[in-house]
Amino acid sequence: MNLRDGGNRIGALRIGKTRIALRQLEKPLFTDVMVEDAALGLGADEDRIPLSRFVDEEDMFTVLFNDLSLAYVNGTLFRDDALVGGGKMFLRHLIANPSLGAATSEKGSFANGQAEFSQGSVFRAVVDSVAREDVLICDDLGDEWADFIGVATETTPATISFYHAKHGDRSLSASAFHDAVGQGIKNLGRLNLAGDVMAVKYEGWDTSYRNDGAITAIARYIRGGARDEVEVKIGQVVGAPDVVRRVFIVTSSLSRTDVANGFAQAADGHPLRPNFVQLYWILMGFFSACAEIGAVGYVVCQP
């Protein structure tokens, strides 16, 4: 099957019994791009491969069909009639937060001695109004599992939550979610907050937050007490048989109303823009990946 951009052929797909393969991708932007091992010097990886081959081998592409209920995402063919059925289940995973409408950056600016994240940043919105847990830790930078980790010890059941914060212009573009979804899925296995690696994490959280060359006074243990107290609280929650694990993508680039309007158009029989269909499927892939390990995925966005 040929791939075309307008009237120009740019590549080909091969549809097999169990997999769709990207056999060719020819665009000037990709022609000389090679994927190498980052641990080696530039050009030193003798096993480097073309970008198109890497995309194929890692199933990093999406195929949409005229039948909107079908999509091939991350190497798997999905069928879901919700896209043209009003999207009620999908919308349950979208949580509106008004503070994100005023966000102008992801992390804000930093200065030596600064005690809080900047007003107008998505990070500040997470701390002030999105994350409600009595234990909240900033895990941004370094070997990060999430931008923030929240642990609710005072609720029944207790919860462990990862928050991935992103900022962008308001749109229905799927491209704004690729990084956040990838990070969220990659770190699903960390939701247990268990193992020898936790000792290293606690030590890292002992240090104040640093960014843009500034040494701030922002404590990584934002809520829940000092390290000893947090360790005890997390230990109690991790051992609870009914703990609920959640992953939140917190973004200023999406509006729940815009998404609801898109579903309404589909239910009325109007054609959908490809970017909306792609957005739906990339987020459904995220929600499904969370469900597979017993967690729940959400997107917190503008109203």
Q: pLDDT of 237-274, one tens digit each?
A: 998 999 999 999 999 999 999 999 999 988 887 777 88
Q: pLDDT of 166-205, one tens digit each?
A: 999 999 988 888 889 999 999 999 999 988 999 999 999 9
102 located within any domain: yes
Task: Flag whether pLDDT at 103 surpasses 80.
Answer: yes
Beta pairing, strands 214-219 & 221-223: unpaired
**Of the candidates 97, 89, 152, the residue with the CA atom closest to the CA atom of residue 300:** 97
- Please tell me the total count of domains within the chain: 2
232 located within any domain: yes
27 and 111 assigned to the same domain: no
Residue 79 in tokens: 């069928």
19 and 133 assigned to the same domain: no
The rounded percent of the chain whose pLDDT value lies above 90 is: 61
Measured distance CA(75)–CA(63) in Å, rounded: 10
69 located within any domain: no
Q: What pLDDT, on a 0 to 100 scale, did the predictor assign at position 269?
A: 79
Cα dihedral 8, 10, 14, 19, rounded to 10, equals: -120
Q: What pLDDT, on a 0 to 100 scale, did the predictor assign at position 3?
A: 82
**Of the candidates 229, 223, 238, 243, the residue with the CA atom closest to the CA atom of residue 158:** 243
Do the Cβ atoms of 176 and 275 come closer than 8 Å? no
- pTM strictly above 0.95: no
10 and 92 assigned to the same domain: no
52 and 93 assigned to the same domain: no
Residue 51 in tokens: 């970008």
Measured distance CA(106)–CA(122) in Å, rounded: 5
241 and 192 assigned to the same domain: yes
116 and 34 assigned to the same domain: no
167 and 285 assigned to the same domain: yes
Q: What pLDDT, on a 0 to 100 scale, did the predictor assign at position 211?
A: 93
Residue 69 in tokens: 């209920």
Q: Residue 54 is inside which H or E element, if any?
A: helix 51-57
User: CB-based contacts of 223: which residues, under 8 Å, 6+ apart?
Assistant: 133, 134, 135, 136
73 located within any domain: no
Task: Flag whether pLDDT at 49 surpasses 80.
Answer: yes
Residue 255 in tokens: 């509006």
100 and 138 assigned to the same domain: yes
**Of the candidates 234, 210, 233, the residue with the CA atom closest to the CA atom of residue 220:** 210
144 and 50 assigned to the same domain: no
72 located within any domain: no
43 and 166 assigned to the same domain: no
259 located within any domain: yes
Domain that holds residue 245: 88-302
75 located within any domain: no
157 and 51 assigned to the same domain: no
192 located within any domain: yes
Beta pairing, strands 295-302 & 62-64: unpaired
197 and 249 assigned to the same domain: yes
